[in-house]
Amino acid sequence: MKKRGNILTENIIFIILNLVFFTILILFVFKQGAGAIILEQSYAKQIALLIDSSQPSMLLKLNMEKAKKLAEKNGIPFEDVVQIKNNIIQIKLSKNSGYTYSFFNNVDVSPPYVSEEVYYIFSINNYNQNE
């Protein structure tokens, strides 16, 4: 009877350890793909390419739901996630990170704003006058 009890305990511990192991592995894979650094880079480049392809009077609408979730988790207001200064885009999803990328289309972009909770709106005005 005692021997049977030992086998059962060993098996349960073995199964629990396996489950813990695979859970950690899966969490690691998901966390890597949704990290601030990856998302910041991806959104910055996406926005830069959108603006590069745009023309005056266009309105660009980008779904940034993933960015919103992560920013709020990290204590960054969603309204402060995207900033555009001259022709440089800055995305900030955590207090210790941030990513900048430039676009070459010489358009004047109004300060981006949030719409329908998860969308960012980029309004393309006229072309800038080169110095």
Partner 1 sequence: MNKKATDKIISVYWFAILIIVAGGIFAMVYAFYSNPYDSRELEANILANNIANCLSYKGSLREKIINDEGKILLNKDNFLKLCNLNFNVEDEYNWKEKEQYYIQISFYNVQQQLISEEVFAGNTGLISSCEIQEDNEYEKLAKCIERRFYTLDKNQNQYLIKILSVVRKTEKNVK
Residue 120 backbone dihedrals phi, psi, to 5 degrees:
-110, 135
CB atoms within 10 A of CB 5: 9
SS3 38: helix
Site string for partner 1, 44-83 (x = CB under 8 A): -x--xx--xx------------------------------
Residue 96 interacts with partner 1 (CB under 8 A)?
Answer: no
By the rule CB under 8 A, 35 interacts with partner 1? yes
Nearest-angstrom CA–CA distance, 83 and 105:
17
Residue 98 token pair:
């941030």
Q: Per this entry, what is the length of the chain?
A: 131
86 counts as binding partner 1 under rule CB under 8 A: yes
Instruction: Point out which residues bind partner 1 (CB under 8 A).
Output: 10, 14, 18, 21, 25, 28-29, 32-33, 35, 38, 41-42, 45, 48-49, 52-53, 86-88, 100-102, 104-107, 127-128, 130
